[in-house]
Amino acid sequence: MSRLYEVMFIVRPDVEDEEADKLIDSLSTTVKNGGGEVKSVEKMGRRKLAYLVRKFADGNYVLLTVAADGPVVHELERRLRVTEQVIKFITVRMDEEEKRVAKIKASRGTRRKVSAEPAPAAESAAAATEPAEAVQA
């Protein structure tokens, strides 16, 4: 069963663009050979890191969107781990994330509808009971 993943990795800043392109191509080939599909490749450019990673203060960010099975993603992560040009990476399963976001949006929509209708009725009921309490006291 194919799932959607986002793999973001940071390439060392001293790596040439041509070498980074070769790295991206080899990772894409790994995914394709495993039966997966690379949906998109986005080079996000050079950015400053929040903290030093392997003595580097900045790096070139790359985002791969991949539709593949678990073993293919596991192999991709293994290759990222042993590649010297990659200083950091993270893989996120996006189909679960999309489900979570859809669930939150659905619950927000139902809460607004439910809370919007009773509010005027509650205010009129509260206004009707206040004078009665004042008379009894």
Structural domains of the chain, count: 2
Mean pLDDT of 26-54: 95
CATH number at residue 12: 3.30.70.60
**Distance (Å, rounded) from C-alpha 113 to C-alpha 107?**
10
Q: Are residues 63 and 128 in the same domain?
A: no
Q: Are residues 82 and 108 in the same domain?
A: no
The mean of the pLDDT values for the chain is 86
Question: Which pLDDT belongs to residue 39?
Answer: 95
pLDDT at residue 123 is higher than 60: no
Q: Are residues 27 and 51 in the same domain?
A: yes
Q: Are residues 61 and 110 in the same domain?
A: no
pLDDT at residue 114 is higher than 80: no
Q: Are residues 113 and 76 in the same domain?
A: no
> What is the extent of the structural domain holding 25?
3-94
DSSP string for 22-63: HHHHHHHHHHHHTT-EEEEEEEEEEEEEEEEETTEEEEEEEE
pTM above 0.85, yes or no: no
Q: Are residues 65 and 122 in the same domain?
A: no
